[in-house]
Chain A
Amino acid sequence: MKWTRGAALPETAVTLGITLTLLFGMFELGLIGWTQLSSDGAAFVAAHAAVLGNDPKAAAAAPFPQVPGSAISVAQNNADTTIVPVDFQASDPSNRHGGLQVVRPWHLQATVDMTDVGLGKALPKVGIGSGAIEGSMLVSNPGYDIDSTSYNGNGTPNTTYFGDDGNAPPYFIGFRLMRDCFAVAADQGCTSSHVTTLGIAEYLDADNWSQPGNGIGAGAVYSAMMLHQNVYANIQTELARIAARGIATAANPAPTSTGAWFDPQNDPCIQTVHGWDNTGGGAQWNWKVSPLHPTAPGAGC
């Protein structure tokens, strides 16, 4: 009909206007969404790269060139604090004296902060932000244990695991002190005792890391444990002999033969055990001497 023909212009104008507005709106919305996705991805990549020691901006630039490096920042935040106090001034037994040089995941946070995203035509320009957190495995303070600085502090120096003592094989080092008896006499018991540092067989460090065998056999890492077990088992047989004859008194003196009555002067098993030790004593214990002489021969025992 004739009157409908002239309506095409306003209809087209209205339709086109709405359509273009919608299209531009969708385009801008898509652009913002795309930027948000890129920003999220860049934050993930940057955080991941940073904890591995790579350049976070360079790592993010390759897959996300649309995210400018200036928009990426990386911050390292405190590891979670510990509940139990940690120090090595062992005056308060309620403190945790162990736990020196703990490798803890510090919170490495990558942040992307972009402004003026969009065309600003159909929609206003917006800001886009993303963040990602990765655990950064750091030795909290390489000098913490001996500096006695606060374990939970953030201002203390920290270093990578491979720059500190944590970069080590497994180890187990014992420190044992006891007052031991070095002379006996019937009815007098122990006539001479002093403190000694014990050479106990359980250790794992530079002294046995490279023994050729594993386990407890001859030439193995823990061969000292087998040797010690054998000596202790031999001592048990001595105990049976002592029990059978009765303890040493003036009226029932101990035999003077070798291997009797736990006499350090003539009992090769006791001498073997004492041979493992460091009897130097002194007011200040030299920690470096551990683990002493745990594989001393047990001849005659």
Chain B
Amino acid sequence: MLTSHSRGQTLPIWTMGIALALVMAFAALQYGQVLRWQVRAQNAADAAAAGALSVQTTAWNQQIALLYAAAVEEYRLRQLIGAMMLAANNDASCRAPVAPATTCAQTFADLRRAYAASLQRYTTDVQLVSRASQYTLGQAKSDARAIVADFQAKCGQANGGDCAFNYNVVDVSRRAGSVNDVEMSANVWAVNTTPLPGGGPANVKDDYAPAQIEIVTCAKVDPIVPSFLGFTPPTFTAVGRAAATSAMVTQEWIQPGYIVNPQTGAPFQPVETWAQGGPAMDQKYWYSIDFGGNQAKVIGKIGYLMKFANAEFSVATGWWNTIPIKPYTGTLADKDYSCK
């Protein structure tokens, strides 16, 4: 039976209920906030680690591309030299009756012009390779740190980082552990070397060793719950930790004179004709450059069998990018990184 003093009890019940509901709601929001920031911190660290070594990978890719261009040019020079040996000695292939429309002197002159142009290009290629191959591990380290600093400085912009975090480079170094000797390990591109001889780790100086980087992103995050009645909810620290290394993600074997360019339907490096003339005594057309290509056949795990019937210009290359790896610097202390 209710008495007069029980009349006001709905108010405290409501008050307590609403307070409890608010606490639960704030707790849920706060929990979501923590998770969201942790994911954000990790994503920021992942992206920074992946991007930080891009200068090393780009430098190597440029170097390989320039080597390819120079190799094409040197192959061209060699072919032109061979052709000029015939023309300079009045070979039957560059005069009547095999080639009634020309003389070996004219053929020689045409080839000489082609050689001069080719040599000029080759000289440029050599100079470019020289410039592109000066990149050192020390530069890779400083570039990686500069890129991370740039992420920080340009945060919130295109190619910038997440403004909420401090980006800390914990370490940049030569990748730990040995790397494989491609020439011997791949040998004839057999995977690993057993039973082929000569495999093992590569002897490679620092400047051609893949780099690795570890990054920590950190931010002190204010709570979503405001201060009230003298109670100030604590901040929490969102930390992301990631590492990456330069890695050869694609290996290519390019036969540009044989493989068809799907865009054009013709080989990537079609036959070039630099002077008039017919076949010589060996049935070769010396005044055209065929970059060739031969059918290769795979033989089990041993490698390639290639019976060459034709000329061939081909190269094996490795192309580089970064891939994520497990953080490798062990336990970190607060002093190892700073928070925003």
* Residue B250, interface by CB 8 Å: yes
A48 touches B31 (CB 8 A): no
Name A161's contact: one of B135, B247, B293 (CB within 8 Å).
Answer: B247
Q: Is the CB of A209 within 8 A of B10?
A: no
Question: Which applies to chain B's interface (DSSP): helix, strand, loop or mixed?
Answer: mixed
Give the chain A neighbours of B299 by CB distance below 8 A. Answer: 146
- Whether B136 lies near A179 (C-beta < 8 A) is no
The residue from B122, B254, B324 contacting A232, defined by CB atoms under 8 A apart: B122
Known contacts A8-B7, A165-B186, A172-B67, A273 near B78 by CB under 8 Å: yes
Q: Does A51 contact B (CB under 8 A)?
A: yes
CB <8 Å contact, A174 and B326: no
A243 in contact with B312 (CB, 8 Å): no
Select A98's contact among B2, B7, B253, B295, beta carbons within 8 Å: B253
- What A residues does B312 contact at CB under 8 A? 175-177
Report how far A34 CA is from B286 CA in the complex, Å. Answer: 78
Q: Determine if B191 and A165 form an interchain contact, defined as CB atoms under 8 angstroms apart.
A: yes
A 263-291 to B, binary, CB cutoff 8 A, 1 in contact else 0 = 11000001001000000000111011000
Q: Which residue of A lies closest to B33 (CB)?
A: A37
| A273, B81: Cβ atoms closer than 8 Å | yes
Interface members, chain B 239-287 (any A CB < 8 Å):
247-255, 258-260, 262, 267, 280-282, 284, 286
Contact B300 A54 (CB under 8 A): no
Residues in B with CB closer than 8 Å to A75 are none
Q: How far is the CA of A180 from the CA of B79 in the complex (A)?
A: 8
* Residues in chain A near residue B91, CB distance under 8 A: 188-190
Interface window among A109-117, A120-128, A233-241: A233-241
Contact of B24 among A26, A211, A261 (CB under 8 A): A26
Asked if B248 and A168 make an inter-chain contact with CB atoms under 8 angstroms apart, the answer reads: yes
Closest beta carbon of chain B to A241's beta carbon, Å? 10
Q: Is A248's CB under 8 angstroms from B39's CB?
A: no
A8 to chain B, nearest CB (A): 5
* Contacts A23-B17, A145-B189, A206-B183; A169 near B204 (Cβ below 8 A): yes
CA distance A8 to B296 in the complex (A): 96
A242 contacts partner chain B, Cβ-Cβ < 8 Å: yes
A195-B89 contact in complex given A30-B24, A233-B119, C-beta closer than 8 Å: no
B residues sitting closer than 8 Å to A (CB atoms) are 2, 4, 6-7, 9-10, 13-14, 17, 20-21, 24-25, 27-28, 31-32, 35, 38-39, 42, 60, 63-64, 67-68, 70-71, 74-75, 77-79, 81-82, 84-94, 104-105, 108-109, 112, 115-116, 119, 122-123, 126, 129-131, 133-136, 177, 179-192, 202-205, 207-210, 247-255, 258-260, 262, 267, 280-282, 284, 286, 292-308, 310-318, 320, 323-327
The 8 A-B pairs at the shortest CB distance, nearest first, are namely A189-B91, A98-B252, A202-B71, A209-B204, A170-B60, A52-B326, A103-B249, A205-B183
